[in-house]
Amino acid sequence: MVNQAVRKTTVKKETFMQGVITLIFSQVLIKVLGLLYTLYLTNREGFGDKGNGIVAAGYQIYAMLLTISSIGVPNAISKLVSERVAIRGS
């Protein structure tokens, strides 16, 4: 019985670490792709300063809307997970 508890804890830790590594890898990949896209746009012939200004203005609006829409998401996920754990535990 104790051996099974140790195995469950080990499996949960490994699963958690796999999730963390996956998130780190995906964030790095997203940043690299964004950098390549930005470099492509800034060096594209005919795009110029006007095009860069339009992209920057659009990105600012996008970033603001993304921030507003994701304010409560981490808290909601945390609440749902804790409720699920409490239900399974009892």
Q: How far apart are the C-alpha atoms of 75 and 58, rounded to whole Å?
A: 28
Res 9: pLDDT: 60
Res 28: pLDDT: 93
Q: How confident is the model at residue 11 (pLDDT cuts 50, 70, 90)?
A: low
Q: How far apart are the C-alpha atoms of 38 and 47, rounded to whole Å?
A: 12
Q: % helix / strand / coil in the chain, to the nearest 5?
A: 90, 0, 10
Q: How confident is the model at residue 32 (pLDDT cuts 50, 70, 90)?
A: very high
